[in-house]
């Protein structure tokens, strides 16, 4: 009986440690930081949770509709307070890259894009050399 209890205790402890190693991504904290970084004159549209599940998810993608002659701004925030290790790339409906936050091996906290055609666009979030795989982004617009 003692061996059974000891085995159960060890198994329970192992499971507890294994599940606590995969902490939840609290993207709400990062959304608030990203929102503060949105430039004056831009109206908040939407926030995006960027949870890479500790590196399991390599890409998180969202679709959005952009309008012609409208400026869009995206700002990101992550564990380090900035966007280190997190990349957001904008693609048009044909999957042509239009803007990215990773240029010349440098990470930027976002970008601004002036839309040339109304349509469906894709926001793709990826990670490079990331330690946290967790963050958030906000999208704003200005006409």
Q: Measured between alpha carbons, how far is 8 from 80 in angstroms, rounded to an integer? A: 39
State yes or no: pLDDT of 7 exceeds 80.
Answer: no
Q: Measured between alpha carbons, how far is 139 from 134 in angstroms, rounded to an integer? A: 17
Residue 78's pLDDT is: 87
> If pLDDT is split at 50, 70 and 90, which confidence band does 23 have?
low
Residue 24's pLDDT is: 81
Domain architecture of the chain: domains with CATH: 25-142 (2.60.120.380)
State yes or no: pLDDT of 31 exceeds 60.
Answer: yes
The CA radius of gyration of the chain, in Å to the nearest whole number, is 19
> If pLDDT is split at 50, 70 and 90, which confidence band does 22 have?
low
Closest CA to 69 of 123, 39, 113, 100: 113
> pTM here?
0.80
Q: What is the pLDDT of residues 47-89, one digit of tens each?
A: 999 999 988 998 999 999 999 999 999 999 987 666 778 999 9
């Amino acid at each position: 009986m003692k061996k059974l209890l000891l085995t159960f205790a060890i198994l329970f402890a192992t499971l507890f440690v294994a599940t606590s190693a995969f902490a939840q991504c609290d993207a709400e904290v990062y959304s608030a930081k990203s929102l503060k970084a949105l430039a004056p004159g831009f109206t908040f549209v939407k926030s995006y949770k960027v949870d890479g599940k500790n590196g399991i998810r390599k890409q998180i993608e969202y679709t959005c509709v952009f309008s012609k002659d409208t400026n869009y701004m995206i700002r990101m925030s992550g564990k380090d307070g900035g966007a280190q290790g997190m990349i957001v790339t904008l693609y048009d409906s044909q999957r042509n890259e239009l803007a990215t936050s990773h240029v010349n091996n440098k990470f930027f906290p976002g970008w601004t894009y002036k839309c040339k055609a109304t349509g469906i666009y894709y926001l793709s979030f990826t990670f490079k050399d990331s330690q946290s795989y967790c963050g958030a982004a906000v999208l704003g617009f200005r006409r």
